[in-house]
Chain A
């Protein structure tokens, strides 16, 4: 699957000249920006009781669309297909807990980080796991195509059984239903799991890394990147992005993100 998507992404790259030359003016003239969000990953993106889209990424997308003065069109994606959606011009931007990494920078451009979360390895309270070496012989759940997948694949010792699911929703279901109990993901998702199944009481075993999130953009859309960077700076300064983070992640926005505030 991953290989299929990699091949698709490579094809997309070859043809990236095909996509709209000037995305920013297209957005302005159509008064609409299409943003890809994973709606299967509460609290970043999910549905509320009335099946309306909610979450920190949804609120951030609304801020960006508001800042550009256009309407927001949410396109639901998953962590595996968000890059093809962006590169083939199906969406104008990706706000989908999209971690900034060097590998991805080869194919997509990022705005300034608008949030940052640690990636943790979580497990049941009685599991004696403090570092990578303790994972040998255990099963760890990751969501395919995420940084967490890369990190675990790279660092887990031989004999670790890495269980990959196609999206966060399925990974979470596997944990909540008790099929597996170790999960490499963000603390926010672990909180969601614990509220849904309080018996699990999953806690943080160790921090894998801090992962800054940026708005994913096509490389040639430099004008759009400039506008979005400006909007992020403004909203970091007036505290709106901090408020979103506080609301959904119950923590204060890390200093590393706030550093980009408007001077």
Chain B
């Protein structure tokens, strides 16, 4: 029976690469949609607000695992054959867009009413007001919750194992199952997760300092 050694560790590293790939894909694509969701949620149109609210409620009320199953197996039923990475990315993107969208909406709304009004008095258009007055302030406020959410997303990618995507957790399970050395195996898995997540936290702290979030 195999023992935990360099080969096994390399296998875990491969898993970690896929964890990072899935996290980056879903965060980048998800962030774009999240921004749209945040804007829709504070839109002037009641219909847009209602539709985006329903969207957010629907996604937030569905476990990520079910989103994974739907996007991987469900799309297949519609005749679209998606690879595991694509299926997982779609599910994670939906998830990120709803949750991060709400985080960012909160950040936008936390800018005092007077700032919005002052901008209007200056004759700014909606876009100009967003770009020059609201966003620069909202971005600062949103940094800590966004970074926390990013770390969560990295860890949530482990749910993709359900659709056969061999990311870090699944790789750990597979290695453990052939070596049966759970302690050393999962300790390595935990260390690799830490190695991915800790730099994100550090980067977040750096941003907070840079933008002088804590006033």
Listed in ascending order, the chain A residues whose CB lies under 8 Å from chain B are: 4-5, 8, 11-12, 14-15, 18-19, 39-42, 46-51, 75-77, 81, 84-85, 88-90, 167-170, 172-173, 176-177, 192-193, 195-197
Name B73's contact: one of A8, A47, A170 (CB within 8 Å): A8
* Ranked 4 nearest A-B pairs via Cβ: A169-B177, A15-B77, A49-B2, A88-B76
Further 9 A-B residue pairs, CB within 8 A, beyond A39-B177, A167-B177: A40-B173, A40-B177, A46-B177, A47-B11, A47-B174, A75-B164, A84-B73, A192-B1, A196-B180
Contact at A169–B77, with CB atoms within 8 Å? Answer: no
Residues of A within 8 A of B163 (CB): 81
Contact at B2–A47, with CB atoms within 8 Å? Answer: yes
Contact at A11–B164, with CB atoms within 8 Å? Answer: no
Does B3 count as interface, using CB distance less than 8 angstroms? yes
Contact at A4–B3, with CB atoms within 8 Å? Answer: no
Contact at A76–B174, with CB atoms within 8 Å? Answer: yes
Listed in ascending order, the chain B residues whose CB lies under 8 Å from chain A are: 1-3, 5, 7-8, 10-11, 65-66, 69, 73-74, 76-79, 81, 162-164, 166, 173-178, 180, 182
Contact sample, A vs B, 19 pairs, CB 8 Å cutoff: A11-B77, A12-B73, A39-B174, A40-B174, A47-B177, A49-B2, A49-B3, A50-B7, A51-B7, A51-B8, A76-B166, A76-B174, A81-B163, A84-B73, A90-B81, A173-B176, A177-B182, A193-B180, A195-B1
Residues of A within 8 A of B66 (CB): 4
Contact at A49–B177, with CB atoms within 8 Å? Answer: no
In the bound assembly, the distance between CA atoms of A48 and B3 in angstroms comes to 9
Residues of A within 8 A of B2 (CB): 47-49
In the bound assembly, the distance between CA atoms of A152 and B176 in angstroms comes to 26
Residues of A within 8 A of B176 (CB): 169, 173
Min Cβ gap A95→B in Å is 15
In the bound assembly, the distance between CA atoms of A81 and B162 in angstroms comes to 7
In the bound assembly, the distance between CA atoms of A85 and B73 in angstroms comes to 8
Residues of B within 8 A of A89 (CB): 76, 81
Name A48's contact: one of B79, B177, B178 (CB within 8 Å): B178
Min Cβ gap B88→A in Å is 13
Residues of A within 8 A of B77 (CB): 11-12, 14-15, 18, 88
Residues of A within 8 A of B74 (CB): 8, 11
In the bound assembly, the distance between CA atoms of A70 and B214 in angstroms comes to 63
**Residue among B11, B74, B174, B178 with the highest chain A CB neighbour number at 10 A:** B178
Residue of A nearest to B4 (CB): A49
Residues of B within 8 A of A47 (CB): 2, 11, 174-175, 177-178
